Structure 1
Amino acid sequence: MSTSAVAASRTVNRMLYLAIGITGAVFGALSYESMRLQIYPPLPWLSTAFWALLVGMLVILGVLALWASHRVLRVVALVAGAVQLGDLILWLVLADGQLPADANVPWAITFTAVPAVAVAAAASSRLAWAYAIAVSALGGLLRGLTTNYEHPVLIGLQDGLYSLLLVSVFVGLVLAIKQSAEQLDDSVGAARREEVDHARRLARRRERLLINALVHDSVLSTLLMAGLGRTSAEAVARHAQKTTALLDSLAERESSGPVTIGELAMRLRQTAVKLQPHIVVEMRATDAAPPIPADAAAAIVDAVAEALRNSVLHAGTTPARPIEPRVRLDGNQHGIQVLVSDDGVGFDPARVPAARLGISHSILGRMQRVNGGSARLSSAPGRGTRVSLSWSPSEERAEAPATSAEYSLGGMQRLSRRAISAALLLFAVVHALLAFGDRDPRGPIVGEIVSVLAVVGAAVLVSRPAVYPLPHSTTVRVLVLCAVTATLQLFQITPGGSLPFVQWHLGAITLVLLVLVAQGRVGWAWTGYAVLFAATIGWAVANGLALGDGVDLVIRQAGTLLAGSLFVLGLRRSSATLETLNRQRTARTIEDATSVASLQERAAELSRVNSGARDLLDRLAGLRGSERLQARHDDCDPVDVSLRAECLLVEASLRDSIRGRSLSVEPVITAAHLARVRGIDVSLIDDGDDGALHCEDSVRQREVGRTAVGNAVAHELDRMQHGRLTARILPSGRPDIATIVVESGEQRMLIIAANGVVREL
């Protein structure tokens, strides 16, 4: 797990310790009267001291959960567990006969679940289960030794098994929560690494494409202008000076704040005037037009400049009828749109050569790289050209990997089917033993059987791990079955009876409601408990018992349900907090990673451009006015010819690195340069989704493909003395990764498969 992550396991442990502290205080208050009546006669102070120490440790644990270190919390939780274990042992040593009739359950065993949960939160699963079995067994033994009912062995067995069931439910849920939190830590760390890696790749790609677009608009244009020899030396020098200044400024480029639509219109007018003074720029916008991010505004201005440049250079009809390019800017609360149009000769976009980068990179690609940006081009021979650029804040694309961490910690989904089946079996056995072990013979046995079957059926329904939260239909069926059990038991038990577990259904239904809480239905569970509480009070009053007697029967179950509710509500809050904190941390990490990756990619791309063209651009920028690059046929200056040839070679090499990135590697670079010197027309094209050779499933396959393609292209180029070669990386997802078309006397095509095998058609 990344150390920068907000650890779910630590956050969940704090929530557990806090819930343990609150529950310990509740059970301490409920057990105080029993403790007072059950003071050990030989050492009365010792009983009170153990009660105060146990309750105090649990309350302290809850208070420390807000700020103490996890090591301290773990120690306090284990000490609380040890105190409970010591208290049970002390009870067994000092217990002297039966307990008072009005307090016949040792207060120590009413605490069993709370320290067991503390141990489960602080220790390993093996120690947690060993502790749960130990305290349940000691509690059952203590109950058997101190009970004033008949059949003490049976009473001890029943109480011990019920305690084990109750403790197992809590310990199982806590261990499942801890495992879920640990898995969440792993998934958050993995998701964060994936998102950061994705952000780095995306930042590098955007920065590279941005540099490529600027290189096309400035560097390649300058080199091509010089290489073709159709422009004066003064003009070439000016363009070269602007290009070198642009390269220098890119190294120090920083993002700026958003711009208004008015500022954007001003930039568009300035750009249009530089190209041709009579270009019309219109603006139709409302005051509700949103601010435009700096990168979107820059992309729009640069794309408009490229579109106007193409219109001025290529859309002319006749000298007597010059074209009239126009720029129209529209804006409203939904975003902005810029339309660049002319009434020139037009063209067929499908027939534009793949090596031409002006439309694909400098216009369409430039806008597509902006969040919320898009571009469309429409043209036809004789019908002019229209370029539509748009940006909308409502359409900003948050490009991120599809995989992300799930922050849910609740539900029974984290428990294995084996664990759930074992718990259900224990639930059925325990409550069958409680119901039939020492049942009142005056009650109908059929009603007892139906009661047990109904509550076991409710337990089976509520324990289904498939869906969280539990569907409403299933929740209703669970509560109906619980109501059947409660109704049958209330009608067949005798008030004031002498049997210890005659009210077994209260604990059984509470356990079902506890699992219902864990399944995300807290409100429904407490509604069910409220109905059970009211029915029990009503039954007590109707049968001549005091109101307090009815409350005593059912109030202790509230502590159990409260503990489960605190866990679940704490989990919900922890899940939401973890999601917020981790997403904020991930966003900051991605932002930092993106900035670093952008700077690194910018430096690398500028280094590549400068190493290939900077010296030549500096030489062009220093041309004197008396020098000319125009061709003069027989009296052409050989220095001028060699400089022009060098410009064309460097321009072609840079174009390879933009249009055929995966092919711009050795030995292809050297072979292509030498082939062009011999007069061969070389086109390197990469249609492989940012480099198909970079996207294979394995490193070995990637290397095999890259090596095979590079060797095949270089081999064919080295053999050629004239003609044309076109090498193309195919879109990813195909069985073949590249094709090579050789036109030298006769046309041949080579196909390179993903495994590196080359075959000729």
Structure 2
Amino acid sequence: MNDAAVTPRDEGGAELAVIRIMTLIFAAAAVMFLALSAPSFFEQADYLIPHWQLAAGIAIFGTPLVIAAVAPWSSLRQLRILHGAYAAIFTVTVLSWIPAFINGPMSPEAAPWVVGLTALGTTPAAIAWRPVAAWLFLLASSMVIAPIRIIADGGADVSLAIQFAFFTITVCAAFTAVATVAIAAGREVDAASVAARASSMRAAALTARGEEQAHLDALVHDEVIATIFAAAGAGRSESASTRAQAARTIARLSELSDTSATVPELIHMDYFVQGLASSVAETTDSATFTVIGERYAALPSPIATALIEATVEALRNSVVHAGGEAAPVVREVRFTLRPDGVEITIIDDGKGFDPAAVPANRLGIVVSILGRVNSLPCGRASVWSQPDKGTRVTVGWSE
């Protein structure tokens, strides 16, 4: 089976979160710049054509608020487009100041209010575009300030305009660097998450293959080999129990080969109790079945299947090996339910055995009981027995 391609569920999750936070900070900065620019905004109205101030103010200070309002519902691509669009809107607005300036010159101390807001245009560019494009945009936006200041004061102090342009580069560079580094860090987190998810899926696939192989080994022992042994027994090949076991084996193998068969992910506890009781009764009529406690939560289907199959194998071993020559063997299956898990205990008072003396190639205990259940997440299985003191098999699962 080939490993499926991995697509992150939240593509750009960390990067998207970083950009959304930066969008909110950007909107707050726009409000702060509006408060700082308000005096100049009204004082310089007479130098410009009517209504330009209002249109420019809405474009520069209102657009960030709109972007922040839609950011929680916007994708990574949409936010980049919005920030890129704002960078373009900001540039057009600043450049439009030149034809809008009709009543100059201004005093050298009264710089146009738009030239002090360059960081509002360069920071969104760092969010929207690649670093190289963002830095080039920063340089171009900062250098545009010089001719605007020269036009504003009628060329009274060219050196001051150039100094202000370089100062703007320094200030805006800090904001661009922070935005670039933060976005790159978010992108690295997303890449690491995708790699970790891919590794987890590969590990899960390998685990699933191992569990599937263990289940197949247990099925071969529990059903196929047991049926062959039963049929090979003297005078037993025609018995009703042997025919019933053979029918069950054929049905199980058909289920295994039917790749289209589906199993519910969760098994309701009532159905599990009924299935366990039915399996116990089909395996032997000499075992009592007792349910202790309560549990309302359903069981995962693989857990339920493994516990029932391990119980059946433990009972089958008891029927085959625990019998003595004197009194009949007493068998009991206790099913204990708890809110955090379940436990099944299979007890008999038969002749018992020494677990340490059981060969490793005896699949009944090693694979069908211990291996099958202990391989489950949060599964546990144990076997206790002593010669002439009976056997106790415990299988369980906890959440």
TM tier, smaller? 0.7 to 0.9
Give the secondary structure class of the aligned counterpart of 1:359. Answer: helix
Q: Provide closer, same or farther for how the CA distance between residues 359 and 155 of structure 1 changes in structure 2, counting only shifts above 3 A.
A: same
Matched, 1:386 2:386: no
2:33 aligns with 27
Q: Deviations for 1:422-454, whole angstroms, at most 9, x for unmatched residues?
A: xxxxxxxxxxxxxxxxxxxxxxxxxxxxxxxxx
- Which residue, 81, 86, 90 being the options, matches 1:77? 86
Q: For 1:389 and 1:316, locate their aligned partners in 2 and report how far apart those are by CA, in whole Å.
A: 22
Amino acid at match of 1:234: E
Alpha-carbon distance change, 308 to 56 in structure 1, aligned in 2, over 3 angstroms: closer
Deviations 1:558-581 (A, max 9, x none): xxxxxxxxxxxxxxxxxxxxxxxx
Shift in Å, 1:175: 0.8
Distance 1:284 1:62 in 2: 58
Establish whether residue 367 from structure 1 lines up as the match of residue 379 from structure 2. no
Q: Distance in 1 between matches of 2:323 and 2:105?
A: 113
- Matched to 1:96, the amino acid is P
Query: RMSD across aligned C-alpha pairs, in angstroms?
Result: 3.7
Distance 1:266 1:220 in 2: 26
Amino acid of the structure 2 residue aligned with 1:376: S
Aligned mates of 1:322, 1:205 — CA distance in 2: 40
Task: Return the alpha-carbon distance in structure 1 between the equivalents of residues 63 and 283 of structure 2.
Answer: 81
CA displacement at 1:170 relative to structure 2: 1.5
Pick from 303, 306, 313: which aligns with 1:299?
306
Counterpart residue number, 2:135: 129
Change (3 A) 1:296 1:72: closer
**Superposed, which structure 2 residues align to 1:137-536 within 5 Å?**
137-139=143-145, 153=159, 157=163, 159-160=164-165, 162-226=167-231, 228-235=232-239, 236-250=242-256, 251=258, 252-255=261-264, 257-260=266-269, 264-285=272-293, 287=294, 290-317=297-324, 319-393=325-399
Displacement of 1:220: 1.9
Q: Tell me, what secondary structure is at the counterpart of 1:233?
A: coil
Deviation of the 1:306 alpha carbon:
0.8
Q: Are 1:96 and 2:105 counterparts?
A: yes
Q: How far did 1:321 drift?
A: 3.1
Distance in 1 separating the partners of 2:104 and 2:20: 36
Q: Does 1:106 align with 2:112?
A: yes
**Contact 1:40–1:95 (CA<8 Å) still a contact in 2?**
no
CA separation in 2, counterparts of 1:349 and 1:162?
A: 83
- Paired residues for 1:726-745 under 5 Å: none
Between the aligned partners of 1:272 and 1:3, the Cα distance in structure 2 is 45
Uncovered stretches (5+) of structure 1, i.e. residues with no partner: 394-761
Q: Structure 1 residues 253 and 309, CA, compared in 2 at 3 Å: closer, same or farther?
A: farther
One-letter code aligned to 1:283: V
Deviation at 1:308, TM superposition (A): 1.3
**Does structure 1 retain, via aligned residues, the 8 Å contact 2:380–2:395?**
yes
Asked whether the 8 Å contact 2:48–2:100 carries over to 1, the reply is no
Q: Please say if residues 81 and 128 of structure 2, whose CA atoms lie closer than 8 Å, have aligned partners that are also in contact.
A: no
Could you say what secondary structure the match of 1:322 adopts? coil
Structure 1 SS opposite 2:10: coil
In structure 1, which of residues 3, 6, 9 is the aligned counterpart of residue 10 of structure 2? 6
The answer as to whether partners of 1:324 and 1:343 remain within 8 angstroms in 2 is yes
How far apart in 1 are the matches of 2:8 and 2:265?
Answer: 29
- Cα deviation, 1:28-77, whole Å, max 9, x if unaligned, reads 35423312212463756556554444335545544565559637425513
Residue-by-residue CA offset, 1:459-516 (whole Å, 9 max, x unaligned): xxxxxxxxxxxxxxxxxxxxxxxxxxxxxxxxxxxxxxxxxxxxxxxxxxxxxxxxxx
The C-alpha deviation readout for 1:223-248, integer Å capped at 9, x for no partner, is: 3434x453533145443232112222
Gaps of 5+ in 2: none
Q: What is the DSSP-based 3-state SS (H/G/I as helix, E as strand, rest coil) of the residue aligned with 1:255?
A: coil
Equivalences for 1:568-587 in 2 at 5 Å?
Answer: none
Aligned-pair identity in percent equals 27
Of 41, 62, 71, the residue aligned with 2:47 is 41
1:18 CA displacement: 5.5
Could you say what secondary structure the match of 2:364 adopts? coil
Cα separation, 1, equivalents of 2:339 and 2:69: 52
Contact 2:354 2:387 in 1 (8 A): yes
Q: Is contact 2:48-2:102 (8 Å) kept? A: no
The alpha-carbon distance between structure 1 residues 4 and 21, as it changes in their structure 2 partners (threshold 3 A), is same
Give the Cα separation in 1 of the matches to 2:132 and 2:101: 25
Q: Relative to 1, partners in 2 of residues 1:231 and 1:11: Cα closer, same or farther, differing over 3 Å?
A: farther
TM-score by length of 2: 0.79
**1:374: Cα distance to partner?**
0.8
- Offset of residue 174 of structure 1: 1.1
Structure 2 partner of 1:118:
124
- Contact map agreement 1:338 1:388 (CA 8 A) in 2: yes
Is contact 1:342-1:386 (8 Å) kept?
yes
8 Å CA contact 1:84–1:115 kept in 2: the answer is no
CA displacement at 1:171 relative to structure 2: 0.9
Q: What is the distance in 2 between the residues matched to 1:253 and 1:43?
A: 74
Who is 1:487 aligned against? none
How far, CA to CA, are the matches of 1:189 and 1:265 in structure 2?
A: 41
Q: Deviations over 1:533-571 (max 9, x none)?
A: xxxxxxxxxxxxxxxxxxxxxxxxxxxxxxxxxxxxxxx
The number of residue pairs the alignment matches comes to 383
Q: Helix, strand or coil: the match of 1:358?
A: helix
Structure with higher Rg: it is: 1
Distance 2:127 2:265 in 1: 50
Question: CA 1:160/1:343 → structure 2, altered by over 3 Å: closer, same or farther?
Answer: same
Relative to structure 1, the CA distance from residue 90 to residue 379 in structure 2 (aligned partners, 3 Å threshold; closer, same or farther) is: farther
